[in-house]
Amino acid sequence: MRLLSAHITKFKSVNDSTAFPVTDDVTALVGKNESGKTAVLEALYRVNPLPSGHPVDFDELDDYPRRSLARDKTNIPDVEPIRVTFQLEPSDIEAVEKQFGPEALMADRLVITRRYNDKSIWYDSKPTLNALAAARHLVANAGLVTPQLDAAANVDQLIGALRAEGHATADQVADVLAERDLDRDIWRILYRRLPKFQYFDEYNVLPGSVSIDRLQKVPEHELSPEERTALSLLRLAGVESDAFTLDAYESRKAALESAANELSDQLFQYWTQNPDLSVELDIEFRSVPTPEAPQQVEPWLHIRIKNQRHRVTLGMAGRSRGFIWFFSFLAAFSEHADSVTRRIILLDEPGLNLHAKAQEDLLRYIDERLAPNHQVIYSTHSLYMIPPGRLDRCRTVEDVGNEGTTISRDIWKARSDTMLPLLGALGVDMTQNVFGGAHRLLVESPADIAYLTVMSEVVRRTGGVPLDPRWTITPVGGLDKIPVLITLLGGNDPNTAYLMDVSTDGDVRVAQLASRGLLDRSRMVHLTDIVGAREAGVEDQLDQNRYLKLLAASKVGKFAKCELRAGIRIVTQIETLCGGRFDPYQPAGHLVRSPGKLLGELDAGTRKRFQQLFERINALL
């Protein structure tokens, strides 16, 4: 089965998350601190949890929203804090059909729920299971096919029709059907095939040492999260923990070295920060005397990391927090990476202490080792944990006033602070593309991209020449960033053009670069020349009335043309009227999403100014 969607209600900070889809491979929950990302993962984990040391049931006192606890007291037992939908795969359907025939399932989706103060996993049988069809299949297998049996409208009627047949075989089948709950029987088959949910957070990191006796004797569900990861480490090494306690020194040493070598080969394939590391395992026999056994000792396994370059080994406590987390993560999941038994892997803020490059290694591991066989859902607010080319993976998580935590796949409707990591990921990707594109047009902000893109299409539709598609438009964040880019580009670049909102001499740093020959004046396109003002942005190419209408339509505010002064950039004037800064992308984004009649009302002067702008830019190719 594959997880298709989830819906969380009345759980911690979540009042109603709204139903949200889950991708087939990797889903990223993106949101700022205290938005409710951890609560979402905790609710998902409890659908069908693997032991991890974390709570596995929904507890009314601990988990129900406190502000509603007293008011909803009598209704809490009926609340379903988590509701998920699974897609049945061919093997799941085949397993049911093998016992109950091809019509026992009416749909290829299964809805699962959990409730408060209840350890059961509930299922919604109505849209999926067909007990009558399953019963008819069992009757047909017994060789009983008559018009009276076919006419039965439900299982009870079928049982009655069987008894009316008046012979032993029919009575025997009727007795079997009367004793069985076929809905439950079909459910049991599907229940055994439900994916397990595995949760991993900072509490699952490996300890520096662990008691082997506990790993051997304590049931896995009673181990602490860190002990459970240590157990996974030993399983990954392919060595039974008994081998580490052998009396013979050479046998014990061979087991330790074998396990350490196996771990080093598997784990450091994805740790590129320091290739000089390797795993070492050692045993310490600690004295634990008792009145019955005063000489009793207990073996403890020590996990150490050797740095070949510095020729020193350190325990886990001596390594960086980022390395400890990464090492623990790989230990916990590498054991199951190639397993065909699907899991839903839940990662709470993975790689939080990792360098950007190590976060890339982590994503690579998730994509290459986990995603082919499992579904991964992780929470993050790091831009380096968001692949710019896979924004379809992202779901925004926001705590919205009295509504509580909500989740949405429509990421561009989220608030700016929630979108910051997404925009940052795009910014990193775009910055890298600045140096890879054949022709680069540097503009001030993302709003400029929106206006240039939309107006290029308007000019094309009206018979003009649009902006040449060979240009890669990249926002740099203002004139003050140009000197840095010039330095990174290694001096004056013949494939780069600059859209300027002031004249060359309007900025001292730009003027100095031009005077030193590091910035080619001929590759600067001045918006001021087209508008005829001492300063101008792309917004000033629009007719002022049209731009004021766009501000009103995008909910920035309503302003009168009589409030504006000539020769001053319109964005600057609007900020003055607003009493502070506003987001220039808000009206630009509205124009992209809902052009409506605003584009149809564009005057000839606006189209002419953009046509002139595109001609000047294209001439630099």
With cut-offs at 50, 70 and 90, classify the pLDDT of residue 355: confident
Say whether both 455 and 573 belong to one domain.
yes
Phi, psi of 490 (to 5 degrees): 80, 30
- 448 and 314 in a single domain? The answer is no
CA-nearest of 510, 485, 389 to 435 is 485
Cβ neighbours around 487 below 10 Å, total: 11
Tell me if 310 is assigned to some domain. Answer: yes
Q: Strand 471-475 relative to strand 277-287: parallel, antiparallel, unpaired?
A: unpaired
Pair 325, 446 in one domain? no
Indicate if 442 and 320 belong to the same structural domain.
Answer: no
In a domain, 560, yes or no: yes
The secondary structure of residue 366, as a DSSP letter, is: I
Is 315 contained in some domain? yes
Is the pLDDT confidence value at 249 over 60? Answer: yes
In this structure, of 334-343, 504-513, 518-527, 610-619, the range with the lowest mean pLDDT score is 504-513
Threshold 0.85, pTM exceeds: no
Residue 232 main-chain phi, psi, to 5 deg = -65, -35
Distances (CA, A) of 326 to 27, 121, 363, 587: 19, 33, 11, 43
Is 66 contained in some domain?
no
Instruction: Flag whether 594 is in a domain.
Output: yes
| Overall number of domains in the chain | 2
Binning pLDDT at 50, 70 and 90, where does residue 496 land? confident
In the predicted model, is pLDDT for residue 120 greater than 80? yes
Q: What is the dihedral of CA 569, 570, 572, 573, to 10 degrees?
A: 120
The answer to whether position 136 is within a domain reads no
Distance CA 278, CA 311 (A): 11
- Provide the angle, in degrees to the nearest 10, between the axes of the packed helices 249-267 and 321-334: 100
CA atoms lying within 13 Å on the CB side of residue 107: 12
Structure-model confidence comparison of residues 392 and 379, the more confident one:
379
- The mean pLDDT of the chain is 85
Rg for the chain, CA atoms, rounded: 33
Q: Which residue range forms the structural domain that includes residue 319? A: 203-335
- Is residue 441 assigned to a domain? yes
Shared domain for 487 and 595, answered yes or no, is yes
- Whether 341 has a pLDDT exceeding 80, the answer reads yes
Confidence (pLDDT) at 413: 80
**575 & 444 share domain:** yes
Query: What is the structure's pLDDT at 601?
Result: 72
Q: Residue 520: left if φ>0, alpha if ψ -120 to 50, beta else—which one?
A: beta
Give residue 479's pLDDT.
63
Q: Which of 300, 319, 335 is at the close of a domain?
A: 335
- Identify any residues that bridge with 27 across adjacent strands, giving them in sequence order: 377
- In whole angstroms, give the CA distance from residue 318 to residue 341: 36
Q: What is the pLDDT of residue 490?
A: 52
Helices H / strands E in the chain, number of each: 24, 20
Mean pLDDT, residues 344-356 taken together: 89
Tell me what the mean pLDDT of segment 67-80 comes to: 90
Rounded to whole angstroms, the Cα distance separating 71 from 482 reads 59
- Contact, 45 vs 13, CB < 8 A? no
pLDDT for the residue numbered 492: 60
Of 316, 335, 354, the last residue of a domain is 335
611 and 484: one domain? yes
- pLDDT at residue 483 greater than cutoff 70: no
Give yes or no for residue 25 having a pLDDT over 80. Answer: yes
Is residue 513 predicted with pLDDT exceeding 60? yes
Listed range (55-64, 141-150, 608-617) with the worst mean pLDDT: 141-150
**Distances from the Cα of 40 to the Cαs of 8, 199, 230, 306, 548, in angstroms?**
7, 12, 26, 38, 41
Render pLDDT for 168-181 as a digit per residue (tens, 0 to 9).
Answer: 898 998 899 999 99
Summarised one tens digit per residue, pLDDT across range 1-16 is 999 999 999 999 999 9
Last residue of a domain, one of 335, 364, 381: 335
Q: Say if residues 478 and 442 touch (Cβ distance below 8 Å).
A: no
Q: Is the Cβ–Cβ distance between 234 and 207 less than 8 Å?
A: no
Share of the chain above pLDDT 90, in %: 30
- The answer on 450 and 311 residing in a single domain is no
Is residue 291, in this structure, part of any structural domain at all? yes
| Structure confidence at residue 306 (pLDDT) | 87
Q: Work out the end-to-end distance of the chain between its first and last CA atoms, rounded to an integer number of angstroms.
A: 53
Residues 408-447: tens digit of each pLDDT: 988 878 887 887 787 777 766 655 555 555 788 888 888 8
Clarify whether residues 331 and 444 are in a common domain. no
Which H/E stretch holds residue 236?
Answer: helix 225-237
Per-residue pLDDT band at 503 (split at 50, 70, 90): low
